[in-house]
Structure 1
Amino acid sequence: MRESVSISTKNCNPKTAGLACSAIFIILFLLQPLKATAKQSLDSLDTYIYQEKSSEKRLELIFKLLDKNYNTAIILQLSEKAIQLSDSLRNREKKALALERSGMAYNAYGDHFKASERLNESLEMYQSLGNLDGVNAAKRSLGETYRAARNYPLAMKSLQESLDYFLEKKDSVMLARIYNRMAATLFEIIFLETEGVEVKKEFREPDSKTSLMFDKDPAWKQYKDSLMNYIHLANELAISKQRYDLVISTEIIHAAYFTYTAQYEEAVRRFQGIIEIIEDSGLYEDLPLVFYNLAMLHLPNYLNQPETSMEFAKMAIEESRNLDIKAYEYMGFNVLHQAYAAQGEYQNAYESVLEVLENLKIFTADELEIKLKTQEIEYKLAQNEIELRSRRNQLWIVWIATFLIVLSFSGFTYILNRRNKKKQALMEELNRKNLMISEQNQELEKINAEKDKFFGIIAHDLRGPFATIIGFSKILEDEVQNQNYAEIGKTSKLISESAEKAMNLLTNLMHWTLSKTKRLDYYPETINLNQLVRENISLLSETAKQKRIDLQQDILENIQVFTDRNMLNTVFRNLISNALKFTRPGGAVSVMAVERTNDVLILVKDNGIGMDSKEAATIFNLDRKTGRKGTGGEPSTGLGLILCKEFIELMGGKIWIESQEEKGTIVYFSLPLEKINFS
């Protein structure tokens, strides 16, 4: 079952309009579906397209024409033009869209392998562009292609991934399209054999009780309930957005359900209702499929009205030719020859069989074995054509032709299935390797960025402290020679402070490197949080005193955490140092903790200079721009916060930040509670 993609037209009805309406169709060329033959339409379209001198406008025009067409041959040609033109313009977004359109056209034409090639290429291009809407639209199209190729597990997987994304986006049209395809896939899972195109034995000769099996057997009931749910959701969403193309497609699936469950009168009623929707909306793409279903419903095996079946089959063939959809034309002739045979019109039945074979050759043109079989059938039928004049042999020849068609079609299906399985396996392997390469490339880019930042810190931030040490060492040497003992003490203190800064930076760099290379040992133990915070505040109290900052803690004495002591000390030293660094003299810094159900929430709060939302959002990124100095001119590398994030995540916690300019900053992080011992 093909999915409708044309848009609604309401100004004219092409099946009933006269010359005046035809004139309107010519004038409103861009607004109406084209119903000329492929060659005539393409000639006129080329003339129309190349009136545009600008390549960019020409490309936009091609996409407009693609939106207004449902002739498969025209869509194939237009999408190829769009691919070439967008490629020459280096417009990768448009090329990805053109590839997707081309893939869906190939799928409609029956070349599922070519369709999957184009759609996977479109998917990869959307991924490289970071276009998630495009990625998941391509996945939906891939799901439809896998369904058409009868790979139902892969079809459902692709459709489900697309559904999950568009449920979050709340895109009603895309959701309707996905539910429609999920309904089509589940319908085929229920009623068709996995191998070949044969109907499952449960439905080959259905009686009046067939539909009851869905209610008696839990497995069948689950299938039916899921199918009806997909149909309901697709219809509800499509109607809400007035997408009658999707309503038509979904209703065809619903009506076919009644056919296969032997509810023929209800099936006829629903197919007639679909024709009314098609006539009202002017969406004729699926009209041949509706006529085909009605023709099949009136065959002797069903309603046993072969004359009516013949009329519907002829209508299906006529509409298929108008739309240049070979698959529907083939299906129409296949029913027509059965209807003729049922009425004893064997000459007409034979001619219909030849049309079936002619269409079958088109579908298997790239399969040498099938072509040879088709030629063999044609040769045998030609030898028997003279005998066909004899009334006595007419029925026999029809049966032979029917048998050969079934045999040829079965052989074609078997070869196609084998070919598709091999190609699907290759596609799955290719997709897996492409995903692996993409993930490796992302990891390499991240590692390169971290490496560049790492060496930048070493080159820039260590140079300052060491330059200070070297400079003051020379001054100290001079002071010693001059026995200027008052200055010696000051200089020694400055050397000590610079060495301490360099040592702190080197320690952070070493810890960060060990954590990134997975060589940092983690030894969790039960720790009294109040005591550990007091120790760290004591170490930094002199810095707070020099800047006249009130440094306090508010943590209950009985709060215990289960984590690594050295890592936690490093986190508190960095966070408290940062708060002191960016707080003005006379400010305040406090450390607080709140015990929750499964963890402890810790806050390091200051009323310092804060930061804007843009800087706060990238504060934990290694590749962000650093170098912001503290309120006392203190240097900053930005590595401390990144190291805190690494350590907190290693300890099983999370870290986040809130900040406002000139109002201060609060750093939050969580840690697991004391380990429970059940012994």
Structure 2
Amino acid sequence: MGKFSGLVLLLFSTMTWAQKTLDINQMLAALKTSKADTSRVNQLNKISLYYNETDTIKAVSYAKQALNLAQELQWKEGIAKANFELGIIYNSHFDYDQSLVYFQESLKWATPKLSSKIYLNIGGIYLNKSDFTHALDYLLRALKAAETIGDRKYVAKIATNLGSVYFGIQNYNKAITFFNKAAQLNRQLGNDLDLAIVYRNIAGVYTSLQEPHKALSYYNQAIILNRKLHNEQLQARILSDIALVYYNLGDYDRAIQNCHLAIKEQSLGNQNQQIIAFIHGVLGDSFIGKAKANSNQTYFLDSAIVNLNKAVKLHQQLNSSRDLAYDFSSLTQVHKLRGDYKSALSSYETAMVYEDSVFNFENKETIKNLEDKRAIELRDRELKIRKLQLEAKEKQKWMLTLGVVLLSIIGGMLFYQSHNRRKTNRKLRVLNQDLAHKNHELDQANKIKARFFSILNHDLRSPVYNLIHFLHLQKESPELLDETTKASIEKQTMESAENLVVSMEDMLLWSKGQMEHFRPQPERFKLQMLFEELKIFFASSAHIAFEYKNSDQIIVNTDVNYLKTIMRNLTSNAVKALEKTSQPAIVWKAWQVNETIYLSITDNGPGATQEQFKALYDDTEVVGIKTGLGLHLIRDLAKAIDCKISVETQKNEGTVFTLVLPQKKEDLK
């Protein structure tokens, strides 16, 4: 049995044992005569908090009244508290999505002290959802806020939840480290309830480490502390956990005995569905163990089915896919022992569905969130790079000035010598003209080089940073990556690197095109081959429907690398334009009219203006960070192979790029 009833999360105002008994009748009477001021907002929030455990509808109603009044009064602190109370209510009733909405709204108005509580609760929600990346993020924010204001009580609570995060990712050493920190603070503060919860969590870690005697030792310490507190739910949790330890030891009678004691601890009006569901799951598995030990005795198998069906019903209400996977796996065992293989197969298939659901949820891509955490660091690096570039330009300016001064001196000396030797002067004049021509060529080369490297800086920085970021993550925080997530990130990094290589090949081709003696190498090839390579290149854009129309098997004579680069860049522009388009589609088409071959790329994106494509036709258009390589590369390469490009674009209807390639008669044969 690979389950555990779940670590108790120490949140704010979510535990029944943390709430004081309130005289509700006295509060309701005082509310009737109170004025519409900030005091009334606080009264409404307290009444809402009272009803949270008994009447959810009333709890929500009073909290929303508090929110409306606070908004009318434009009282920021009251707005924050009312939204916070609504988040607490929905959180305690497992409506996590709605709870997050109110917590995020509360953060907009919250004081630093309230912010630490909100971060703590948001972290707890993500922890309950097994979203450990977000849980760790918000709990670290909560810890920083609590330490800033010196709130040791909440530092202890947050340390407990951080231990739960590391327990969730099976980093048991760090989990015990944070739990021990929380235990030390709670002992110093005299928080017996929180200390009992921490002991229970430590015992859960030792249960997972298969050290049952250490686990039982901490469970017994938790029970001793809780006897003075008379907390029914915590006592039920501890007894059910002890039952699980005995189950793992094969002592099924003690496991069943502790399950029954746990059920008795919960009063009829205050039962916790999660705990009850877990208890029935342990009971079901324990009866399966007894049935195996007693030759599949029918009584034990029937008892197992009854308890497992109760667990299934409660876990379905709680929408807990992980626990449902455990329950149906256990039911599969029962049906096999009874010889009902049809029901066993059905239960097994259901268990697999829930396991797949848990696997898919826990392995969603989180790289973007991790990149956001390092955004400030990346911006700092960009600033350093820009500073170095400015310093380099300043040095270059002084070097050019020095060069001009030196040339002036040389010119003066030549002018002086011209009085003495006319023949030498004519030769020097020729040399000076040649020098001026070379300087002009050098200036043009420098401009091309500056443009090329500004493009390189912009278009290659992002994939390289992605690669660097993954290596940093792998080195500094390997515990956050399980094998599946690591494989997924490595795959995406490899794809990014491969696309980077292709982009670098495009840029190399373009840079060669800028050289004086570099010429295209035309050859005959089928356009269908070009379209198939394009489709493979853009296979990662699976959300876009790609189609090509080339029924006549057209053959073209031109430089295949130039044409491929032009088509790939135009298609990349179309892919970017379709980012926010529903049902995006791109159509490649080729046709021939007499001795001219036409190619087109059509998308159904939002369209643009002709001004945005100016760089495609105007050689004087400035190349900068925003314009990138794109249209300048396309313009230069198209010019090199005598290809003309036209653009038709309409708002909300899309864009069509058309390439015109004149052919010679002998090339078409």
- Verify same fold: TM over 0.5: no
Normalising by the smaller structure, the TM-score range is 0.3 to 0.5
Q: TM-score when scaled to structure 2?
A: 0.45
Which of 1 and 2 has higher RCO (CA within 8 Å, sep 6+)? Answer: 1
